[in-house]
Amino acid sequence: MKQALTLLAGILGGFTAAGLVLLMISPPRGEPVTLLPPPTPEPHTIHLCGAVSTPGVYDLQPGAIVADAIAAAGGITDKADLARINLASEIQDGQKLMIPYVQPTSSDLHAQAPADTAGELLNLNQASAPELERLPGIGPATAKKIIEYRDINGPFLEVDDLMKVSGIGPAKMEQIRELVTAY
C-alpha cells in the first residue's frame, strides 16, 4: 500500500509539474489591461457681473470659490461691497454671481439731493417697477430694463446715467428728468 501511495504521489506531482511548465510556456490569452488616468472634471461655467473689473462668463474648476471667480475677472472695482457676499462660498455650474456695489449712505443721499425737492423725487436706485411705471413714458418693459440695469451695473450715480438704459432717449429723459433723483 505504501508503494501505491508513493506511486500516486509521484503521478500527481508529475501532472502538477507538467501543468506549471505548460502554463509558463503558453502564450498569454486575452487583451492586456490598460489603466487610464481618472477623467478630468468638467469646468463650472459661471456668469460674473456687478462690481468686478471684467464682468463676463468664466470657466472655473469644480471646487472654486467666489474669491477665485473674482480673481478670474481681474478683481473688484473700488465700488464693490464685499461685506455683502461670502467670498468662501463654492460656485456652482451655471451660476450667475453678482458682486454688489456699495450703496450710498443716507447722509450721502441727503447731502447731494436738492433740499427743496428731496422728498418729492423718485429715487432711481430704490424705486420698484410699479413706482417707475408712474413716470411719463415708462411702461412695464422700460421699468424692468431700468431695474435690470441697476442690478447689473450698480446704483445710478446721477440722473443722466438713465440714458444708458436701452429704450430711454433724449425725449423721454426730458419728460422725467425733473421727477427723479439718483440720491
Range(s) of the domain holding residue 84: 44-99
Q: Would 37 be classed as within a structural domain?
A: no
pTM, 2 dp? 0.45
**Domain co-membership, 137 together with 113:** yes
Q: Would 55 be classed as within a structural domain?
A: yes
How many domains is the chain built from?
2
**Domain co-membership, 89 together with 110:** no
Per the CB < 8 A criterion, the answer to whether 104 and 155 are in contact is yes
Instruction: Give the separation between CA 141 and CA 131, rounded to whole angstroms.
Output: 13
Among 32, 65, 99, the domain-final residue is: 99
**Residue 129: alpha-carbon gap to chain centroid:** 26
**Domain co-membership, 136 together with 161:** yes
Instruction: Give the separation between CA 66 and CA 16, rounded to whole angstroms.
Output: 67
How much is the average pLDDT of 158-163? 90
pLDDT of res. 40: 87
CB atoms under 10 Å from CB of 181, counted, come to: 22
List of residues 6+ apart from 95 with CB closer than 8 A: 44, 46, 47
How much is the average pLDDT of 161-182? 90
Q: Would 17 be classed as within a structural domain?
A: no
What is the pLDDT confidence band of residue 108, given thresholds at 50, 70 and 90?
Answer: low
Q: Would 145 be classed as within a structural domain?
A: yes
Q: Would 34 be classed as within a structural domain?
A: no
**Domain co-membership, 123 together with 148:** yes
Instruction: Give the separation between CA 173 and CA 146, rounded to whole angstroms.
Output: 13
pLDDT of res. 104: 60
